[in-house]
Amino acid sequence: MFKKILIANRGEIALRIIRACRELGVETIAVYSEADEQSLHVQLADGAICIGPASSPESYLRAERIIAAAEIADVDAIHPGYGFLSEDPAFAEQCEECRIKFIGPRSESIRRMGDKATARETVRAVGVPTVPGSKGAVADPQEASHIAEQIGFPVIVKAVAGGGGRGMRLAHNPMSFQKEFAAASAEAEKAFGNGAVYIEKFIEEPRHIEFQILADEEGRVLHLGERDCSIQRRHQKVIEESPSPFMTPELREEMGRAAVKAAEACQYRNAGTVEFLVDRHRNFYFIEMNTRIQVEHPVTEEVTGIDLIKEQFRIASGEPLGLTQEEVQIKGHAIECRVCAENPSMNFAPSPGEISLYFPPGGHGIRVDSHVYGGYTVPKFYDSMIAKVISVGCDREAAIARMNRSLREYLIRGVFTNIPFARSIINDPEFVRGRFTTRFVEEFLQRTPKSLFEPPTHL
Ligand code: ADP
């Protein structure tokens, strides 16, 4: 096992990694921007190095500063967390060149799966079903139009470098196609510095179901079951759960096998996620692979009893997987709500500022992964997620009841949060029935009086 590692991230995931390291007896070095000096990850790590000003392009995205910090601190490995540099193949490559172990897959796998058009082709070649669409990226608008007609409308135009729901546009008909094609490409260029886009058939009312996989350095791959992430707003996940209420044992086996095949196709190592869309007839289609730990990993941990971050360290240090596919058991049900400092009555605008009062929920079956505390100032520079509440119960009904009561207990003053919004979803009869698709939030917002999830006007 490693002796000392550096965490190239901030927020709750930095804390999550520090906690796993403490239990493994691994020393931790945090990096931080000037805006994060008071952050818990800085206080809890064994050492901390400032890597620049608040804005992430000047700090958390500066590969050379992070590598320099790693060399000064003389660490064996770097854990990238999620976001920031976690899916940057050049960063993984630099780590490899400096003989610092990157806790994740090899740079070639990140590069291959990071280009979503290449990822599609890679898994299609080994027989994993993909959404019907263009073969690779399409640059010429006329050719794109022709391909869209062949696929049949509606189609979705997606950025090959996409992530976080950006650079994605729906076109219902040939008339609107050119406009959406140009818009997706422009948005992708702005967000990722790469305007390349591809085209997929738009699957009507699908569920988003993803599989957690683990692969050791010998190339043995396991899956740890699925997460249902259909509760999304603007293609971004809000609530996730495991197992999926839509899943059957047969479908799990079939999709799990496909996920393992997808990972094998890119010689995957370490923890990763294979994402699928599933239509109402239970046909499933690969959409992308995330080559890192994900925000929603705790729901898998809660139902499998496997600590995914520790597994990442064990795998990276060369240990073989300690269990077989048959030994992976899914027990009970877990739900995660992402808590964000944002105002649902102001179209979910971020709400940074000082948290004046903070009381997190607790009790049996509740886990809160968060980096905030009373007196902490949520900086305006980063993602607005400030906590994840994870409830676990013997079944879905128990997990829902627990989530409901914990969101009621959760007290955060000083900033607006989406807690009332998450609670009204958790209490929604359609959600409780488990009959939802990726359109759930959109429909929910249309049919639900705003007053039900508006935060209090006074903080
Ligand atoms: P990103 O990398 O930006 O997260 P994904 O490819 O993972 O993009 O897609 C995010 C979400 O967008 C999906 O969970 C789904 O809700 C929607 N989506 C993506 N592709 C399609 C499609 N072909 N048909 C219908 N919905 C889609």
Burial, 178: exposed, middle or buried (Cβ in 10 Å; 0-12, 13-18, 19+)?
middle
| pLDDT at position 454 | 82
Give 79-127 pLDDT, tens digit per residue: 999 999 999 999 999 999 999 999 999 999 999 999 999 999 999 999 9
C-alpha to C-alpha distance for 61 and 130, rounded to whole angstroms: 32
C-alpha to C-alpha distance for 2 and 270, rounded to whole angstroms: 15
Average pLDDT on 127-142 reads: 95
C-alpha to C-alpha distance for 334 and 244, rounded to whole angstroms: 10
With cut-offs at 50, 70 and 90, classify the pLDDT of residue 451. confident
Domains of the chain listed by start with CATH number? 4-103 (3.40.50.20), 132-201 (3.30.1490.20), 207-453 (3.30.470.20)
| pLDDT at position 453 | 83
Give 296-352 pLDDT, tens digit per residue: 999 999 999 999 999 999 999 999 999 999 999 999 999 999 999 999 989 999 999
Is the model's pLDDT at 156 over the cut of 80? yes
Which of 287, 292, 383, 441 for mutating ligand 1's site (highest number of atoms within 8 Å of CB)?
287
User: Mean pLDDT of all residues in the chain?
Assistant: 96
Residue nearest to atom 11 of ligand 1 (CA): 235
C-alpha to C-alpha distance for 357 and 367, rounded to whole angstroms: 19
Helix, strand, coil % in the chain, rounded to nearest 5: 35, 25, 35
Burial, 359: exposed, middle or buried (Cβ in 10 Å; 0-12, 13-18, 19+)?
exposed
Residue found under tokens 């249309």: 446
Give 26-51 pLDDT, tens digit per residue: 999 999 999 999 999 999 999 999 99
Give 380-398 pLDDT, tens digit per residue: 999 999 999 999 999 999 9
With cut-offs at 50, 70 and 90, classify the pLDDT of residue 240. very high
CA 110 to chain CA mean position, Å: 15
The answer to whether the beta carbons of residues 30 and 24 sit under 8 Å apart is no
Q: DSSP per residue over 78-134, as a string?
A: EE--SSTTTT-HHHHHHHHHTT-EESSS-HHHHHHHHSHHHHHHHHHTTT--B-SB-
Active-site residue (options: 10, 106, 292, 338): 292
Is the model's pLDDT at 452 over the cut of 90? no
Ligand 1 pocket residues where CB is under 6 Å: 131, 156, 162-165, 168, 200-203, 206, 208, 232, 235, 275, 277, 287-288, 438
Helix (H) or strand (E) holding 149: helix 141-151
Is the model's pLDDT at 458 over the cut of 70? no
Query: Could you tell me which of 339, 345, 346 has the C-alpha nearest to residue 410?
Result: 339
Query: Could you tell me which of 345, 368, 361 has the C-alpha nearest to residue 418?
Result: 345
Is the model's pLDDT at 230 over the cut of 70? yes
C-alpha to C-alpha distance for 21 and 411, rounded to whole angstroms: 29
Q: Which atom of ligand 1 is nearest to the CA of 203?
A: 24
**What pTM did the predictor assign?**
0.96
C-alpha to C-alpha distance for 307 and 297, rounded to whole angstroms: 9
Q: Does the annotation count 292 as an active-site position?
A: yes
Is the model's pLDDT at 456 over the cut of 80? no
Residue nearest to atom 19 of ligand 1 (CA): 287
- Please, which residues have CB within 8 angstroms of residue 292's CB and are 6 or more apart in sequence? 80, 81, 82, 86, 87, 104, 271, 272
C-alpha to C-alpha distance for 351 and 205, rounded to whole angstroms: 31
Distance separating the N- and C-terminal Cα atoms of the chain: 47
